[in-house]
């Protein structure tokens, strides 16, 4: 059973398009996250979310928006894609928040914007 799954695994799209990446966890965790790993393999947190609170990293453009239909899902919507959005995006979940709990990562989605 996959604990944290993401779809799609690869996404190739053109500048200006709007796209979504889906994330689901079956661990019963309360908190989910989105991370971006750039071409230099540097990871950055984008969002953390539980059913009460969305925390947005201030460096994330407002073209990025997380949507959570329920506790097990946190999807990432990206509007007006730019070349610089090309990266690998990881979803993760944890039992609690405040980044004080072990994180479980999805397999990643490689986004390429042409």
Partner 1 sequence: KNEVEQSPQNLTAQEGEFITINCSYSVGISALHWLQQHPGGGIVSLFMLSSGKKKHGRLIATINIQEKHSSLHITASHPRDSAVYICAVGLNNDMRFGAGTRLTVKP
Binding site for partner 1 (CB under 8 A): 40-45, 48, 55, 57, 88, 90, 92, 97-105, 107-108
d(CA 64, CA 84): 13
In the complex, minimum distance from the CB of residue 103 to partner 1, in angstroms, rounded to a whole number = 5
The answer to whether residues 114 and 86 touch, using CB atoms and an 8 Å cutoff, is no
Nearer to partner 1, 16 or 96 (CB): 96
In the complex, minimum distance from the CB of residue 102 to partner 1, in angstroms, rounded to a whole number = 5
The answer to whether residues 43 and 35 touch, using CB atoms and an 8 Å cutoff, is yes
In the complex, minimum distance from the CB of residue 77 to partner 1, in angstroms, rounded to a whole number = 20
Rg (CA), the chain: 13
The answer to whether residues 112 and 12 touch, using CB atoms and an 8 Å cutoff, is yes
For the CA atoms of 35, 80, 12, 50, the dihedral, rounded to the nearest 10 degrees, stands at: 30
In the complex, minimum distance from the CB of residue 107 to partner 1, in angstroms, rounded to a whole number = 6
Nearer to partner 1, 75 or 93 (CB): 93
Nearer to partner 1, 42 or 69 (CB): 42
Nearer to partner 1, 8 or 17 (CB): 8
């Amino acid at each position: 059973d996959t604990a944290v799954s993401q779809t799609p695994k690869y996404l190739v799209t053109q500048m200006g398009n709007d796209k979504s990446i889906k994330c689901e966890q079956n661990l019963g965790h309360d908190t989910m996250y989105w991370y971006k790993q750039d071409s230099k393999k540097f990871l950055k947190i984008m969002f953390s979310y539980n059913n009460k609170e969305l925390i947005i990293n201030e460096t994330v453009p407002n073209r990025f928006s997380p949507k959570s239909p329920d506790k097990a899902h946190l999807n990432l919507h990206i509007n007006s894609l730019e070349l610089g959005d090309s990266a690998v995006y990881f979803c993760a979940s944890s039992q609690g928040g405040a980044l004080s709990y072990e994180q479980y990562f999805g397999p990643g989605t490689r986004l390429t914007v042409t």
